[in-house]
Structure 1
Amino acid sequence: MSRYLSRRAASLALSALSILMAFGATLAPAPAAAQTETPIKFVLDWKLQGVHAWYYLAQDRGYFAREKLAVTIDQGEGSAATVTKIMAGAYQAGFGDVNAIVQNAAAKPGQAPVMVYMLYNRAPFALIAKASGPIRTPKDLQGRTVGTPAGGAAARMFPVIAARTGIDATKVAWTNVAPNLQEQLLLKDHVDAAAVFSVTSYMNLVAQGIDPDKDIRWFHYGDYGVELYGNGVMVSQQLLRERPEAVAGLVRAINHAVRDTIADPDVAIAALVKREPLLNKDLEKRRLLYTLKTVMLTPEVATQGLGDIGDARFARAFLQLKEAFDLPRVPTAAEVFDRRFLPPLAERTVARR
């Protein structure tokens, strides 16, 4: 009898153990990586272009995943719109214009996103004119008509370059044009010049069979004392406050992909074209190389590395923005840019092309 009970008890114990093991399996915690993965909605400044290639390269090479980030990337509607989309809570991070951050921080303290990785060391604002035309210096714009999209940043910043080149701004006429028609109207002489975003306009000219280096005169604002920085990676106040480790991981992943892109532009463009096969990869590679040359790999970047800014220059840029936009106040640098998340200088150093 005792032998029967012991066997029965053992059988019941085994059954109970099996049930507990099965039950326990259903309650087993998810893998640590899945539990701690941070979702980040990231918005670009515009439709897909070569200057966005590093974000997709970071995805393909697992740089975001390695930082336990689940990053989804959406196309944008303008560099300034990135700021407003993040302020509205639709996105936690994005690629947009630091000058738009300054303007919003001046008017709405504590609400604007913060730049954590500067990509465009020079703001890509420029005035362009036909090389065959009469405009040979910025002062030649007096008595001429300049085309610009309504509210275009290059036109808004014109008073700053005018003051530094001796232009009487009251003698320059402006006409609003559709963004996609700027170059066409210039080439057809409907306007004498255009105020443009250079990294976009350059390739628009190429696409129309124009050699932008020979057929067009470029007056880059940065060559005439305008000290503005341009686009970079920005994050929301909430992400900065609640998930600083995610911000640091985002910056590390993007910095790694940017350096990879500089070393091998073709592999980065391939990652971009995977998302939009209709893109002309040769044109987008040329856009990327032009951007690297003109607004990213500057002498300043050669000394201080990718992603950072010069504090004294940044302060002067704020004053230029106040002059151009009549800001109600000048925000502090800390309200606009946070360098705490930058990788060490050795990981951000690249040779100038």
Structure 2
Amino acid sequence: MITRRTAAAALGLTLFAPHVRAQALTSVKFTLGWKTQGSDAPYFVARDKGYFREAGLDVVIDQGEGSGATVTRIMGGAYDAGFGDINAIIQNAATRPADTPVMVYQMWNQPPFAFVAKTSSGIKTIRDLEGRTLGGAPGTPTTRLLPVFAKANNLDLAKMKLTSMAPNLQEPMLIQGQIDAALVFNITSYFNLVLNRQDPDKDFTWFAFGDYGLDLYSNGMMVSQKLIRDNPRAVAGLVKAVNKASIDVAADQTMAMASVQSYDGLVNIPVEKRRLQYAFDKLIMSPELKEIGSGDVKDDRLTRAIDMVVTGYELPRTPAAGEIFNRTFLPPRAERELAYKMS
């Protein structure tokens, strides 16, 4: 017989049950590499499709301050994981190996670092950069890698005038002719030019670092060593969820943009969808990815990349590849087949 007391108790348990389930989820604080962009779609899809919850995770996603800053944000303890630059991991691991996060899912296996110049500037080869004024944002990987680029290509760094500026001023100053070339992330600068009503293909010349000896890896998902040590199951769940979402995004970018918009209603959907597709075309899809699958790296290539960064920055120690990338948490190769189709 159901009494008022037992009914109230049952109602209390019903109301309390969702709270219990929510409490059972492991909280993960996650930082993006920058403001909301279409290329961040896998994280939002993993959230909206419930992949994080299926893995027992409550992932809180915040906007970032730069892909290099992702590393320092995690090192400072404010974040458990994030999307950022593997080269910043290398730099920090050389001096603070115990504190530096580790890449667990490599997303961009082609580097976005590039010079961009107006076609009318007369800069047709990288040699033409000597004697010119370059605009770079302090602390960004592209600007910090300029000495490495110059050394790899026998360019005289002393003949290049580097003007420091905020990232949002690079394209306007380039358009106005106040600088001859800018040190940029191609995936960011290309669309800044679009938003400034420029034609980045017709009116600008691009020099990708990867085409000139800097065969570096770039952005991916990294986690703190503390999370790996204290909760490896959470790391595995995070990787599995993002891998699954990445496969979904590759197949359906329209669906992906709905998740981007659900996270940030102020994004320019047409531009950000183009950015997402640009990421697949320029940074993600490659012969290497088809060989080893999404999320992984080649150890010999990573070792060469580490050596380049260590030499270029004159770092005191050369980290081993295993300190920078940990493939322990990757799903089996058969589950990491990423087939991109523009949609």
Distance 1:274 1:25 in 2: 33
Give the match's secondary structure for 1:102. Answer: helix
Equivalent position of 2:322 in the other structure: 334
Residue 139 of structure 1 contacts residue 166 of structure 1 at CA under 8 Å; is this kept in 2?
no
Change (3 A) 1:188 1:65: same
Residue 32 of structure 2 contacts residue 70 of structure 2 at CA under 8 Å; is this kept in 1?
yes
Change (3 A) 1:19 1:193: closer
Equivalent position of 2:40 in the other structure: 52
Superposed CA offset, 1:208-245 (max 9, x none): 11111111110000011102111111111111011111
Among candidates 308, 323, 327, match of residue 320 of structure 1: 308
Among candidates 164, 174, 196, match of residue 186 of structure 1: 174
Superposed CA offset, 1:228-280 (max 9, x none): 11111111111101111110010010011111011000111111112222211
Pairing 1:145-184 to 2, within 5 Å after superposition: 145-184=133-172
Distance 2:11 2:64 in 1: 44
Distance 1:207 1:168 in 2: 34
Distance 1:302 1:111 in 2: 33
2:285 paired with 1:297: yes
Letter of the 2:277 partner, please give it: L
Equivalent position of 1:8 in the other structure: none
Equivalent position of 1:211 in the other structure: 199
**1:161 CA drift (Å):** 2.1
Letter of the 2:278 partner, please give it: Y
Pairing 1:274-313 to 2, within 5 Å after superposition: 274-313=262-301
Equivalent position of 2:335 in the other structure: 347
Distance 1:136 1:20 in 2: 81
Structure-1-length-normalised TM-score: 0.90
Residue 136 of structure 2 contacts residue 183 of structure 2 at CA under 8 Å; is this kept in 1?
yes
Residue 110 of structure 1 contacts residue 335 of structure 1 at CA under 8 Å; is this kept in 2?
no
> How many aligned residue pairs are there?
339
**1:52 CA drift (Å):** 1.0
Pairing 1:2-17 to 2, within 5 Å after superposition: none
Equivalent position of 1:261 in the other structure: 249
Give the match's secondary structure for 1:73. Answer: strand
Among candidates 88, 92, 100, match of residue 100 of structure 1: 88
Equivalent position of 1:242 in the other structure: 230
Residue 135 of structure 2 contacts residue 179 of structure 2 at CA under 8 Å; is this kept in 1?
yes
Distance 1:20 1:261 in 2: 48
Distance 1:321 1:251 in 2: 26
Residue 33 of structure 1 contacts residue 68 of structure 1 at CA under 8 Å; is this kept in 2?
no
Change (3 A) 1:25 1:267: closer
Give the match's secondary structure for 2:163. Answer: strand
CA RMSD of aligned residues (A): 2.3
Give the match's secondary structure for 1:132. Answer: helix
Range with greater deviation from structure 2 (103-112 or 270-279): 270-279
Task: Answer with 1 or 2: which has the greater Rg.
Answer: 1
Superposed CA offset, 1:284-304 (max 9, x none): 001111111111111111111
Distance 1:96 1:197 in 2: 13
Q: Which runs of 5+ in 1 are unaligned?
A: 1-13
Give the match's secondary structure for 1:313. Answer: helix
Letter of the 2:227 partner, please give it: L
Superposed CA offset, 1:306-327 (max 9, x none): 1111110100001110122111
Letter of the 2:206 partner, please give it: W
**1:23 CA drift (Å):** 8.4
**1:172 CA drift (Å):** 1.0
Distance 2:22 2:266 in 1: 34
Change (3 A) 1:130 1:249: same
2:125 paired with 1:137: yes
Structure-2-length-normalised TM-score: 0.93
Q: Percent identity?
A: 50
**1:155 CA drift (Å):** 2.0
Among candidates 60, 64, 78, match of residue 72 of structure 1: 60
Residue 250 of structure 2 contacts residue 339 of structure 2 at CA under 8 Å; is this kept in 1?
no
2:234 paired with 1:251: no
Residue 127 of structure 1 contacts residue 219 of structure 1 at CA under 8 Å; is this kept in 2?
yes
